[in-house]
Amino acid sequence: MKKITTTLALFLSMVTMANTTAFNAAMSSALSQFKSAKSLVDFQNTANTFNRISSTANQEWLPSYYQAQCYIYMSFMDQDVINKDAYLDLAESAINHILELESNHSEVYALQSFMYTGRLVIDPMTRGKEYSMLSMVSIKKSLAINATNPRALYLQLSNEVGMAAFFGTDKSVYCDRINALLENWDTYNKVAEMHPSWGKSQLEGLTSNCPTTTDSTQIK
Amino acid sequence: MRATLLFTFILLSASSFTQTISGTITDKTGNELPGANVYVEDTYSGASSNQNGAFSFSFSDTGNFVIIVEFIGFEDYKQPVHLSGNSPKLQIVLKEKFNQLKAVTITAGSYGTGKSEKAIVMSSLEMVTTAGSLGDINAAMRSLPGTSNNGESGKLFVHGGEGSETGTYIDGIYVHQPYTSSAPNMAVRGRFNPFMFSGTSFSTGGYSAEYGQALSSVLTLSTNDMPIENSMNLSLMTIGGDLAGTKMWKTGAITASVNYMNLKPYMKLIPQNFDWNQEPTAYGGSASFRQKTKASGMWKIYGSFDASNLSMQQTSRDGSQTKVGTGVSNTNQFINTNWRGSLSEKWFTTIGASYTHNNDAYTQQNNVLNQELKGNHIKATAKYELTEKIRFRTGIENTYTQFGNHYSLLNTDIDSTVSYQENLTAGFVEAQIYTSSKFLINAGLRAEHSQYLDRNTVSPRLSAAYKLSDKSSLSAAYGWFYQNPVNELIIGKSYLQNEKADHYTLSYSRSTNKRTLRSEIYYKKYSDLVKFGNSLSDPYTNNGNGYAYGLDLYFKDAKTIKNGSYWISYSYLKAERNYRYYPTTATPTFAVPHSLTVVYKHWIGSWRSYVGGSFRFGSPRVYNDKNSADFNAAKLPSNTSVDLNWSFLYRQNIIFYASATNVLGMDQIFGYQYDSTPNNIGVYDRTPVVPAANSFFFVGCFITLTKNGETNQLDKINN
C-alpha cells in the first residue's frame, strides 16, 4: 500500500512538473511572440496566445496580465472608438480576473492604472476628470504595496506630464524625478523571470520634454 | 499495479507523434475572419487565424477533445472532435454576437447624456460649462431643441407644453417638487446639483410606458454610484458658499454638505429692477449614502433640507398703483431611496421610494397663502432578459399627493383651508425587441387608477427605430399620455378628469465621430383640458383642447475646431389651445415660434482655461392686451441673450469660475401684468414682467482637498 501511495505521489508530482514545464514553455514562447509584436494583428495574435494559456492555467496571473497588456496596446493602436473601448473591456476583465485570484498585487494595480489612462485618452474632454482620478487611485494602491514598483512610478510621472501638457504648464519640472527613476530603474526592476519588466524605454521617451540629460551623466 | 501505472505514464509521455489541426474560419456570409483564437480545450495548443481566416497547428495527442474558437464580436464556438492522428481539416462558421452598442437605438424624442446612454448629447460637465446655465439642469436642457426659454418661469417648456407638463424622476422615482420656490413671475431653478448625476435623459415626447403623469416630457436623472476618493470641497461664491465632505469605505460611501446663500451684497452692488425688502436668502443641507449589497446590488439614500426666503415691493394691480410687500418663504424636505440589483443573470430589479414635504408661504400685504404639499412615491420594477434581443420590463407604483391651500387675512377672522388627497396607482409592461441589429421595436402599455378622480386610464406607447446605415437611423414614437390637472385646478373638483395628449414623432439621426445631426418633426394633440369661464360661477369642464406641431434641428460638432466644440439648436413651434379661461382658440402665451441656441466652448491650454459663450434667441411670443378686443393677439419683443463663462484652473484643485448672462444688457420682457380695473380714462394700466436684473454676474472659487490633491472641482461649478 505504501508503495502504491509513494508511486502515486511520485506520479502526481511528475505530472505537476510536466504541467509546470509545459506552462513555462508556453509562456516563454508567448513572451517572445509578445516581444516581436508590432502591428495590431500581431498583438491580437499574442493576446490569443496568452488567452489560450490562461484558459488552461487559470490560477496563474501572468498570462492574464500580458493578455490585458496586449489589449491596452491595441486600444492605443486602433482608430475606431468603439473598438478602443471594446479592447479595454477585455483588458479590464482580465485584470479583474487576477484581482479575484489575489487582490494585493502591485503590478496589476499599475496595469489597471494604465488601462484607465487608455479610457481617458479616448475622450479627455469628457472623461478626463473621472479617469485621471481612477488612474491615480490605482497607482496609489500599487505603490502602497510596493513603493518602488518602477512601472507604477513611471505611470505616475507619465500621468503628471500628460496633465501638465493638458494644462499647458511646464513639463520640465518633472525631469529630476524622471532622471532619478531612470538611474534607479535597474535596482527597482529586479523581478523574477517572466514577470513584468517593461517601462524603461517608455520612461526614456518622457525625457524628450527635458532640456538635456547630460547634467545627470556629468554628476555620475 | 505498478506495471499498470508505469504503463499509463509511459503512454502519457510517449504519445509524441504529431498531427496537424487546420481549417478556415468564416462568418455566415463566407467572409474570412483573421485574428480568431482557435485552441484545444484544456491544452496550450492552438493558433490564431491568418489574413485568409486559415489556421493550422500541431497537436500531439489522441482521444476526444473539444475545439474552441473565440473572436471579438462573435459568439464562442465549441466542437467536440475525436483525434486519432487523422489531421482534421475544419470549416468553422462563427455566428455574429448581438452587440447592443452597435445596434440601432430609438432617438425619437430622446436626448440622453452620461455614460449609459449611447446618444451622448451633454455630460454633466458640459451642463455646468454651458454659458447661461448657471449650474441649473433645466437651464442647460433649454439649450437643446424642442424646448423654449420662458424667463418668467424657469421650468422646462417642451413641444408646446406648459412647464407643469414635464415630470422629473431620480433613479426612476418621482420628484414631487423638482423646482425651488419663487415669487409669481420670477424664474425658479432646479433643486438639484447637476453633479449628483452620472446620466441625464431628457425626453421631448413619446417616452416609455414606465412614466406617466406628464403630458409633454420627462427628465430622468440617474445618481452617481461610488465616489472615487475621500474629499472635502469648499465653494466660495459672490452669493454664498458651501462645504461638502465625502467619506468612503470598501463597499460604501457617505457625502454630507451644507450651504448658505444670500444675494443681498450682490444686489446692493448691481442695480436691480425690483425693490427688495428681503433679498433672496437660502440655506440647506443634504446627505447621501451609497452601499454595495448582495446580488451585485447598490442601495442609495439621498436626503435634503432647504429653506429660502425673499420679499419685495410690487405694484398693486387693483388700480390704486400703490406698492405692496410681496414675499415667499419655502421649506422643503426630500428623501429618495432606491435599491437595484440582479436576482439572477436574467432578472434585474429596482425598488425605490421618495418622500417630499414642501411648504410655500406667499404673503401680499395682509394676505397669507400657505401651500403645503406632502407626497410620496413607491415603485418596484423588474426587467427580464429572455435573450440578448428580447427584453421585458414591468413595474407597479403608487403615488400619494396631499395638497392644501390655507388662506388667511391678517387681523381678521378670515381663515380657510381647502385640500385634497390623491392616491394614484399604476402599472406598466413593456417589451423591447430587436429583430436584428438594424430594427428595434419597443411596445408598452400603462394603466393608471386615480382614487381622487375615480378614473382608470390605459395608455399605449409604441416606438421603433431602423438603421439606415452605420451612421444614420430613422425612428418614430407614438403614445397616449395622461396627467391630472395641476394641484391648483383639481383641488375641490374631483369631478374633473385627466387631461390627455397624443404624441406622434418622427426623427432622423446621423452620427459620425464627434459630429451629430438630429432632426425631428412632431404633432401633438391635446384633449380633455380643463376649461372654465371668467366668472366664478362658471363650471369647470374638461372641454378644452389644443395642438402643437413643429420641427427640431440639432447639430453638434466637436471635431472641426481643435479644442473647441459647439452645438446649434433650432426649434419651430406652432401651437394653439382653447383651455382654462381662453374665450376662443388662441396661441398660448408661453409658445415661442422660433427658438435658436448656439453654444460654443473652447479649451485654452496656455491659459489653463475653459471659456464658453452662448447665444439664445426667442422670436416674439403673444400676450393678451386687455385694452384690445383680440385675445392673445399682441406681441412681445423678441428675446435675445448673449452669455459668457470662464473657468480658470489656478491649481489642479483650485478653480476660479466667472459667468455673466446677457452681457449686452438686452431688454428682457416676459409679459405684462394688467390692472383688474380700468383707470379714469377707461384704460387698463400695466407693468411689464421683467427679471430681477437684465444681467447676472457670478464669480466663485472652488477648492477640493484630497490626500493627493490631484482632483479638482470643475464638476462643482454651480450656484
Strands of B605-653, DSSP E? 609-618, 622-623, 634-635, 639-651
Contacts of B102 in chain A (CB under 8 A): 82
- Give the gap in angstroms from C-alpha B714 to the nearest C-alpha of chain A: 8
pTM comes to 0.85
Contacts of A129 in chain B (CB under 8 A): 125, 711-712, 714-715
Residue A143 contacts B where some CB pair is shorter than 8 Å: no
Question: From the candidates A16, A55, A159, A163, which should be mutated to test the interface with B, based on the most B CB atoms within 10 A?
Answer: A55
Residue A82 contacts B where some CB pair is shorter than 8 Å: yes
Q: Which of A7, A49, A51 sits opposite B2 (nearest CB)?
A: A7
- Give the gap in angstroms from C-alpha A12 to the nearest C-alpha of chain B: 10
Instruction: Mark the ranges of chain B whose per-residue pLDDT is less than 70.
Output: 1-17, 112-122, 707-719
Show the cell assigned to B225: 454610484
Q: Which of B102, B125, B229 sits opposite A82 (nearest CB)?
A: B102
pLDDT at B128: 81
Contacts of B652 in chain A (CB under 8 A): 163, 167
Kindly identify which residue of chain B lies nearest to residue A9, measuring between CA atoms.
B5
Q: Which of A11, A22, A86 sits opposite B72 (nearest CB)?
A: A86
Contact A136 B710 (CB under 8 A): yes
What size, in residues, is chain A? Answer: 220
Kindly identify which residue of chain A lies nearest to residue B124, measuring between CA atoms.
A126
pLDDT at A12: 61
Task: HSE, CB side, 13 Å, CA atoms: give it for residue B563.
Answer: 14
Task: HSE, CB side, 13 Å, CA atoms: give it for residue B660.
Answer: 10
Contact A48 B603 (CB under 8 A): no
Cα separation, B671 vs B512, whole angstroms: 42
Contacts of A15 in chain B (CB under 8 A): 12
Contact B710 A133 (CB under 8 A): yes
Q: What are phi and psi of B560, to 5 degrees?
A: -60, -45
Question: Which amino acid is located at B295 in the chain?
Answer: A
Q: Which of B640, B643, B641, B647 has the alpha carbon at shortest distance from B660?
A: B643
For the cut 90, the answer to whether the pLDDT of residue A47 exceeds it is: yes
Compute CA B629 distance to the chain's CA centroid, rounded to the nearest angstrom.
Answer: 41
Cα separation, B156 vs B74, whole angstroms: 44
What number of C-beta contacts closer than 8 Å exist between A and B?
Answer: 87
Cα separation, B11 vs B535, whole angstroms: 104
Contacts of B603 in chain A (CB under 8 A): 125
Question: From the candidates B1, B4, B10, B48, which should be mutated to test the interface with A, based on the most A CB atoms within 10 A?
Answer: B48
- Give the gap in angstroms from C-alpha A118 to the nearest C-alpha of chain B: 16
pLDDT at B118: 47
Contacts of B708 in chain A (CB under 8 A): 136, 140
What size, in residues, is chain B? Answer: 719
Which neighbouring-strand residues pair with B244? B233, B257
User: Sign of the CA dihedral B188, B194, B198, B202?
Assistant: positive
Cα separation, B350 vs B338, whole angstroms: 7
pLDDT tens figures, A10-35: 666 666 666 788 899 999 999 999 99
Sequence-separated (6 or more) residues with CB below 8 Å from residue B242: B233, B234, B235, B257, B258, B259, B260
Show the cell assigned to B693: 436684473
- Give the gap in angstroms from C-alpha B698 to the nearest C-alpha of chain A: 24
Show the cell assigned to A128: 478626463
Question: Which amino acid is located at B333 in the chain?
Answer: Q
Longest dimension (CA), chain A: 77
Cα separation, B470 vs B552, whole angstroms: 23
Cα separation, B138 vs B192, whole angstroms: 10
Contacts of B72 in chain A (CB under 8 A): 86, 90
Q: Which of A22, A82, A132 sits opposite B44 (nearest CB)?
A: A22
Q: B473 with B435: CB under 8 angstroms?
A: no
Compute CA B692 distance to the chain's CA centroid, rounded to the nearest angstrom.
Answer: 28
Contact A133 B228 (CB under 8 A): yes
Contacts of B712 in chain A (CB under 8 A): 129
- Give the gap in angstroms from C-alpha B555 to the nearest C-alpha of chain A: 18
Q: Which of B1, B37, B73 sits opposite A4 (nearest CB)?
A: B1
Residue A173 contacts B where some CB pair is shorter than 8 Å: no
Show the cell assigned to B560: 472641426
Contacts of B120 in chain A (CB under 8 A): 126
- Give the gap in angstroms from C-alpha A201 to the nearest C-alpha of chain B: 26
- Give the gap in angstroms from C-alpha A4 to the nearest C-alpha of chain B: 7
Q: Which of B37, B125, B228 sits opposite A52 (nearest CB)?
A: B37
Contact B710 A132 (CB under 8 A): yes
Contact B710 A56 (CB under 8 A): no
DSSP letter at A209 equals G
Q: Is A153 exposed, middle or buried (0-12, 13-18, 19+ CB in 10 A)?
A: buried
pLDDT tens figures, A65-110: 999 999 999 999 998 877 898 899 999 999 999 999 988 899 999 9
Q: A113 with A81: CB under 8 angstroms?
A: no
pLDDT at A214: 47
Contacts of A136 in chain B (CB under 8 A): 708, 710
Confidence of residue A115 (pLDDT cuts 50, 70, 90): very high
pLDDT at A16: 64
Contact A133 B43 (CB under 8 A): no
